[in-house]
Amino acid sequence: MNRFFISISALFIAYITFGLYLSQYKFDLLGKEIKSTNIFYNYKLHQNIYSHISIGSGTYTSISEESKRAQSKFILFTDLNPIVNLDQDRYLMNTGQLFGAKILSPDHSYTVFSTTNKNIINYYNPTYLENYPQDVIVIDHMNTNLEPLDFADGLDVINLKTLANKVWLNKKVSTIWSLMFYPFNPRLSLLRLYRDPDYELRIFDQMSLKKKRNLYLSSEATAKAVPITNWLIKFPSYENVFNMASERLLMTSELSSNMENDRKAIFNSLKSGSFYISIDTLGDSTGFESYLISKRQSRYTFMGDETTVDSSLRLFFKLPRELNVYHEVVLYKNGQRFDHRNTSTGDFPITEKGVYRIQVRLSTSLPFPDADKWLTWIFTNNFYVN
């Protein structure tokens, strides 16, 4: 019996010791700021956030408080199949609360958001959504068992819950390791459950060749409460999910923090694809910019937009900071790796028609039991060149 308790004690001490070691680990991937004049205002948004109204554990107010600590500007609540009319979009504690819905049915699975039409009955009617596309944003959930929605604005290519489930199916021991050491370093533990969505990106690229589509991120935040004695352990917390990844809305004019004035700009940015996706655990991407510029015609083209090819057309990019690790800025054309740069600022000549997007990839060095691995920090939306 004494040997048993000695063994258990030794394991516990080893667990605490290694946990304290992990608690000291910090992501030190970014260097000094690259100072230049930006043409965009950058706003951090999280979507597919669930409250206590459906499968989440937090109230609108408490979730907004956690969002504010994560320095987020907008939360898009998408509670499941709501049975009451949606609240109106508003600002609370300088955080924008946006209200949509996630619709699950035997035939369809999608997220819907509108700033003007909150009539929830219409969200269950695909015919309405197809006939009035200018009023709503429809995001297909890429469920392989369901027929894709042809009229959807885009796909939730990066779904944090789906990606974590894939890690569980393929690497159960690694997942259990992350859960065990989550209290010591939540950001590191959650990052270990993330993989670049290679399969989803291939589907997205194939579908983008047929029709303009946007690449969306679904945070799938619920912070489900697990009762332990008199405490409620929320795993993972809303704040930790918000710190992991975000959509970054890019706007050429500053928002006013008055929802009546801002709702149209927010909707248009999400609808048009004028945003990129950032894996924020790897570093704050505020200040990243990318756009097409035609020097001959003095014409700018932003993410999600279309332009025509000419001999002076170039795809410009600028990272927000110098990087302390190996990195590459990869240009994809029609879903295929086409070119790359290893610089913090630069451009790519665009001399052919096609669908282009950029991924910024970093070589990360994680503590034991992980090793060096390449992960994508930034995913842009598509640029369409005709």
pLDDT digits (tens, 9 = 90+) for 17-28: 888 888 888 888
The three-state DSSP-derived secondary structure of the chain is CHHHHHHHHHHHHHHHHHHHHHHCCCCCCEEEECCCCCCCEEEEEEEEECCCCCCCCCCHHHHHHHHHHCCCCEEEECCECCCCCCCCCEEECCEEEEEEEEEECCCCEEEEECCCCCCHHHHCCHHHHHHCHHHCEEEECCCCCCCCCCCCCEEEEEEHHHHHHHHHHHCHHHHHHHHHHCCCCHHHHHHCCCCCCHHHHHHHHHHHCCCCCEEEEECCECCCEEEECCEEEECCCHHHHHHHCEEEEEECCCCCCCHHHHHHHHHHHHHHCCEEEECHHHCCCCCCEEEEEECCCCEEECCCCEECCCCCEEEEEECCEEECCCEEEEEEECCEEEEEECCCEEEEECCCCEEEEEEEEEEEECCCCCCEEEEEEEEECCEEEC
The 10s digit of each residue's pLDDT in 311-322 is: 899 999 999 999
Most confident of 98-112, 136-150, 278-292, 295-309: 278-292
Q: Which two tokens stand for residue 55?
A: 């499968």
Q: What is the pLDDT of residue 185?
A: 86
Lowest mean pLDDT among 108-122, 266-280, 306-320: 108-122
Q: What is the pLDDT of residue 299?
A: 87
Higher pLDDT, 213 or 135: 213
Q: What percent of the chain has pLDDT over 90?
A: 50
Q: What is the pLDDT of residue 120?
A: 64
Higher pLDDT, 288 or 130: 288
Integer CA distances (angstroms), 377 to 31, 54, 227, 277, 327, in order: 15, 31, 35, 8, 10
172-187 mean pLDDT? 83
Taking the model in full, what pTM does it have? 0.91
Integer CA distances (angstroms), 319 to 279, 340, 374, in order: 14, 14, 17
- CA nearest 263: which of 105, 370, 93, 135? 135
Give the CB-side neighbour count of residue 206, counting CA atoms within 13 A.
7
pLDDT band for position 229 (50/70/90)? very low
